[in-house]
């Protein structure tokens, strides 16, 4: 099946198939859209082709399975299964089945398998995170936005796209704080307390993202994107800590207990359970 309304890079032919007991080939159109009135949240229209496959061809296909709250059908080796992200999110989920070498070597005793432990959900973003991005663009206050981000990352199911969106939001808020300090200077009322509030909310949001509960969301991303997002989180926290130190006129000890914020290893990517106080 080839999704319509996507870029050329995502038009890989995908077969959703069943066993030989399935009726003959049929075609149906699946139109997914969110309940939101905003058309921004609409999911592209997807055409699904149901194809019979003989039993002898099944070893050349990845078997049906469930992963990341989605059901995945038979997919031929070398093809990419594409379907809408889980309910409450926008975007498309993708999963590559094996490869050409696997297709040639596959047998009944050694069928092809999915190319990774879970699907590529980097395009999947929760609608609440998308709405938060809209508020960031609308110029809402930084302390309110950072508090909303901390709440969202603690209470919502998140996916790979949410991880990258959260890192981008934190970067934007940090840049806005720096701009306010440069342009308003002494006119920035109670700036130390304001920056402290934003910083603590960012620490909480980053800690929530790095929680074991959200490990699957990180694994939705390719390794290079995991490293990039984790590096962005740590960099933003450091920058805001320095901003707070620069604007504090008297010596003050700020302690936030956050067990998931620590120095990380690029080899291990994320230190899911190492405790530290920032």
Collapsing DSSP to helix, strand or coil, 42 comes out as: coil
Give me the helix-helix angle, 142-155 and 191-209, nearest 10°.
Answer: 20
**Distance from chain centroid for Cα 120:** 9
Torsion of CA 23, 78, 73, 51, to 10 degrees: -10
Name which of 26, 111, 30 is nearest 75 in CA terms. 111
Cα–Cα nearest to 156, from 131, 181, 179, 173: 131
Per-residue pLDDT of the chain (278 residues; tens, 9 = 90+): 434 333 333 333 344 433 333 333 333 333 333 334 344 344 445 444 555 677 877 888 998 999 999 999 999 999 999 999 999 999 999 999 986 555 455 555 568 899 888 999 999 999 999 999 999 999 999 999 999 999 999 999 999 999 999 999 999 999 999 998 888 877 777 888 888 899 889 999 999 999 989 999 999 999 999 999 999 998 998 888 888 887 776 655 555 556 666 533 333 334 333 333 33
pTM above 0.75, yes or no: no
CA distances from 270 to 50, 122, 215, 226 (A): 40, 17, 9, 9
């Amino acid at each position: 099946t080839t999704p319509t309304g996507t870029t050329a890079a995502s038009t890989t032919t995908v077969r959703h198939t069943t066993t030989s007991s399935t009726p003959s080939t049929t075609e149906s159109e699946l139109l997914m859209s969110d309940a939101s009135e905003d058309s921004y949240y609409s999911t592209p229209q997807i055409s699904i082709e149901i194809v019979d496959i003989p039993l002898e061809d099944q070893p050349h296909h990845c078997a049906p399975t469930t992963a990341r709250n989605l059901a995945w059908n038979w997919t031929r080796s070398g093809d990419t299964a594409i379907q809408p992200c889980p309910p409450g999110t926008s975007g498309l989920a993708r999963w590559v089945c094996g490869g050409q070498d696997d297709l040639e070597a596959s047998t009944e005793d050694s069928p092809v398998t999915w190319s990774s432990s879970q699907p590529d959900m980097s395009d999947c973003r929760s609608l609440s995170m998308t709405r938060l991005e809209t508020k960031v663009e609308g110029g809402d206050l930084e302390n309110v936005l950072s508090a909303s981000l901390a709440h969202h990352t603690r209470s919502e199911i998140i996916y790979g796209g949410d991880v990258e969106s959260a890192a981008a939001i934190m970067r934007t808020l940090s840049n806005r704080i720096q701009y306010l300090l440069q342009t308003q200077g002494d006119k920035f009322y109670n700036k130390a307390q304001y920056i402290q509030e934003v910083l603590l909310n960012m620490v909480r949001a980053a800690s929530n993202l790095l929680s074991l509960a959200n490990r699957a969301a990180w694994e939705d991303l390719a390794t290079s994107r995991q490293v990039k997002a984790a590096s962005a989180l740590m960099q933003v926290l450091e920058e805001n800590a320095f901003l707070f130190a620069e604007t504090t006129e008297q010596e003050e000890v700020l302690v936030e207990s956050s067990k998931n914020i620590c120095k990380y290893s690029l080899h291990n990517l994320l230190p899911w359970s190492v405790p530290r106080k920032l």
